[in-house]
């Protein structure tokens, strides 16, 4: 007879796994990128029948990354499993199984599963043993593929390294069957589903509103979207790596990498300059003014609102052809060309160099300095 303080141990059944049945889960591990240690989310697909595993790195665990990761893994395997067992991930599950009700999957994941033809099976809450194979595979990958932490260039480079690791790993013998894992995967392919002719387009479309500063919240960060103040509502379309903001009429207002990609975004100078032409008084107070190169910032910082507007218009005519850095580097050359072509002397005749240097003096001395080295000329 059990004492009240005794706990009842739950007995588990040893599960059998037919071919073409897979399990999937995320695991977090470390890599070295640009001299720093970074956490990487790895999506791992395992096949209990063959003991085969496939891995792909992703920047996050949201639905777009999750579905895009499954697509990549299916492509690596070469077929689609008939059943896919997963945990109650928020990217796939709205409500876990319980109280006589079946699992409720997200609409996006359900459409994805229907497109590829596999049957999704979510584990019971707190029943990790139901996907024990992939949980063990997560640990196996972490200790065998990421020890020591690999030095990588980007996600593409890491994906290639991991795929090579998986291919090499499949050359070992199955721990029980004594058959090469790669051969067992080929056997599973006979029972699996063919990859569809068309890939499933993974994206998430939501309706949002910009705040009074023209900012839209993307992945927890406020991002300035030029001209967003014209619209009461906007569509944000998120892909696993990029996003775009579209007006209700279908006009694309902005496109860039999602914040967690840690990639630089282009500053939309053309729309910014257009706005500055309408409000020249706001130029020096704009969030973008500190990002201007020195010569151009000095050029726009005129007390005359008329000159500010004209000079913003001049910059806008150049930004179509040149980058802001190129305009800064060729600043005086482009000013001279504009004066010559348009006779627009009033626009530039009051310009002084930002450091009050009379460059004409040095221009007159240039023939005398032709024998100097490049770095010496720059330091004159």
Q: Are 41 and 26 in contact (CB under 8 A)?
A: yes
**Residue-wise pLDDT tens digits, 339-363:** 556 555 545 544 444 444 444 443 4
Provide the token pair at 347.
């626009």
**Which structural domains are found in the chain, ordered by start?**
21-189 (3.30.420.10), 204-261 (no CATH), 269-378 (no CATH)
CA distance 230 to 226: 9
Bridge-based pairing state of the strands 83-86 and 93-95? unpaired
C-alpha pair distances (Å), 147 with each of 138, 143, 150 = 13, 6, 7
Burial code (b: 16+ CB inside 10 Å, e: under 16) for 334-372 equals: bbeebeeeeeeeebbeebeeeeeeeeeeeeeeeeeeeee
Bridge-based pairing state of the strands 83-86 and 52-58? unpaired
Across the strands, what pairs with 218? 221
Q: Are 347 and 307 in contact (CB under 8 A)?
A: yes
Give residue 290's pLDDT.
87
CA distance 203 to 63: 9
**Phi, psi at residue 27, to the nearest 5°?**
-140, 145
Give residue 358's pLDDT.
46
SS3 of residue 97 by DSSP: coil
Q: Are 255 and 244 in contact (CB under 8 A)?
A: yes
Provide the token pair at 380.
């004159």
Give residue 114's pLDDT.
96
Q: With a cut of 50, which residues of the chain have pLDDT below it?
A: 1-2, 8, 11-13, 346, 349-380
């Amino acid at each position: 007879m059990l004492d009240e303080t005794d706990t009842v141990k739950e007995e588990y059944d040893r599960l059998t796994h037919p071919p073409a049945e897979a399990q999937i889960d995320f695991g977090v591990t470390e890599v070295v990128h640009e001299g720093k240690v970074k956490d990487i989310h790895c999506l791992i697909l395992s096949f209990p029948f063959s003991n085969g595993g496939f891995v792909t790195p992703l920047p996050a665990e949201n639905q777009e990354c999750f579905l895009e990761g499954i697509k990549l893994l299916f492509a690596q395997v070469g077929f689609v499993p008939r059943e896919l067992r997963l945990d109650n991930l928020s990217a796939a599950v709205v409500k876990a199984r319980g109280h006589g009700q079946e699992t409720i999957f997200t609409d996006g994941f359900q459409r994805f599963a229907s497109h590829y033809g596999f049957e999704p099976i979510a584990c019971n809450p707190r029943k990790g043993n139901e996907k024990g194979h992939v949980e063990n595979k997560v640990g196996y990958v972490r200790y065998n593929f990421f020890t020591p932490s690999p030095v990588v260039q980007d996600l593409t480079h890491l994906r290639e390294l991991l795929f090579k690791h998986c291919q090499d790993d499949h050359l070992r013998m199955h721990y029980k069957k004594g058959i090469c894992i790669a051969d067992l995967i080929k056997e599973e392919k006979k029972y699996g589903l063919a990859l569809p002719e068309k890939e499933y387009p993974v994206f998430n479309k939501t309706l949002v509103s910009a705040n009074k500063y023209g900012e839209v919240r993307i992945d927890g960060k406020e991002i300035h979207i030029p001209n967003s103040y014209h619209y009461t509502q906007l569509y944000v379309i998120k892909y696993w790596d990029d996003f775009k903001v579209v007006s209700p009429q279908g006009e694309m207002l902005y496109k860039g990498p999602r914040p967690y990609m840690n990639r630089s975004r282009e500053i939309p100078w053309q729309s910014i300059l257009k706005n500055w032409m309408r409000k020249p008084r706001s130029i020096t107070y704009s969030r973008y003014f500190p990002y201007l190169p020195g010569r151009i910032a000095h050029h726009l910082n005129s007390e005359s609102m008329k000159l500010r507007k004209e000079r913003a218009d001049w910059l806008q005519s150049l930004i179509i052809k040149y980058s802001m850095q190129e305009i800064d580097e060729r600043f005086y050359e482009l000013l001279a060309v504009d004066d010559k072509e348009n006779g627009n002397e009033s626009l530039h005749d009051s310009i002084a160099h930002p450091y009050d240097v009379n460059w004409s003096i040095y221009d007159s001395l240039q023939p005398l300095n032709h024998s100097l080295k490049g770095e010496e000329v720059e330091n004159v």
